[in-house]
Chain A
Amino acid sequence: MEPIRYVEALNNKIGAMGFSPYQWSENDTAHWTALEKPLSARTVAILVSGGISHCAAVPFNPDARNDHRVDAIDPGAPSDQYQIHDSYYDHADADRDLNCIFPVDRLTVLAAGGEIGAVAARHWSGFMGRTYNRSKVMNESGPAFVEQLKADGVDLLVAIPA
């Protein structure tokens, strides 16, 4: 099947919820960091935006807008101790197996097999909101997040939007 046209569908959904129209980012070029380092020597972290929080933490707001919250996720914690609150996708499968959307256990297996150097000390869940105040991502919440990655020596981030 053809890929779903999410831009159009989300615009309609956001409008139906009574929110103002979403202005999508459009970029012709991308930033680039060249790193001559094999996977087997890299420390890898995962960031997911699907409203995933530890059961002991406050749940994410499933209809959030402008939510810059990002939680650290312990890669050693059992993946069945998380909850998902996000009204923008069907997480029935992910409720049963977090790895459908946030493949933390699979990354641990790849690390054990030597395919990557190491799993980072922390994974991340956040930046889920329909973000209207994008300059805040670029100037505040984004850079603050990068400092956390640097503190953990991360040299590859796998980013998973949901």
Chain B
Amino acid sequence: MASSWVYAARRLLLAVPLLLGMSVLIFGLMRLVPGDPALAVLGYKATPEGVRALRETFHLDEPIARQYVRWLAGAVHGDLGIDYRQNEPIGRMILDRLPITLELTVLATLAAALIGIPLGLLGGGRRGGAADRAALVLGLVGISIPDFWLGIMLILGIPLGLGVLPSGGFVPLGEGVLDNLQHLVLPALTLAISRAAVLGRLTRAAVLDVVQRGFVQFARAKGLGERAVLVRHVLPNAAIPIVTVLGLQAGYMLGGAIVVEMIFTLPGVGRMTLDAVLERNYPVVQSTVLVIGAMFMLVNLLTDILYGLIDPRVRRR
């Protein structure tokens, strides 16, 4: 057990320089925007006084390195500055919207696992059969569907066509669990389908890989039933790559949430990012991209650590 803690600690330490690199990249990128950022943020409302006030608030007259350190020091303490358009602390705005994005991602990950893993088992368990071929085609189509189009088709077919489920908007979990879930079913499905397809394809490949191994043939040879072989010998071994890919997919859904939140008008962090990009509100873009990027990294890190916990071979490398 001790070695897995060492492994986890090492992975955590490696995350620090990566996170620093990400912050440098985002900060540098936003400074590449042509023109005066103060003018870009204020847009048509810019007055000389306004621009001067903004330059002072964001310390735009200081050397870039100092601006960066100031921003980073603030970010570490949860202070991401003020959004000039809404006159609200950016950190507060992100905290208000984060639960929506997280709930969407968690639900979509669950849905992807519930659809993808059985699909892969069905295919991998009976290779070459009708179920396998159907699962293969579904998987190939699934990874090729643009999720934003799937969302539009779902809205067209279900809320607009059948008149059930809302086509957009959000009700917080605290104001009614059922209402909340009704608003998230379609967005979560939209996000989940292509990820489920990836997971299904991987589960099938993992099962086929394990089935060929000697210990599975031995289990069969000693007279164990197919079901027992699958549950006791194949699944635990196939679980390692499946868990890894599920973790990676959960991370990617944080990015996919930007598109899905836009289609279903969910007020999450993805939506906030997109609005800020379209309004050229760079202080907000810089903060939300850092937060989503950091969460993506955190999910990948947790997946790595989990991988090390369930597969002792990884730790020894």
Q: Do A and B come from one complex?
A: no
Residues on B facing A (Cβ under 8 Å): none
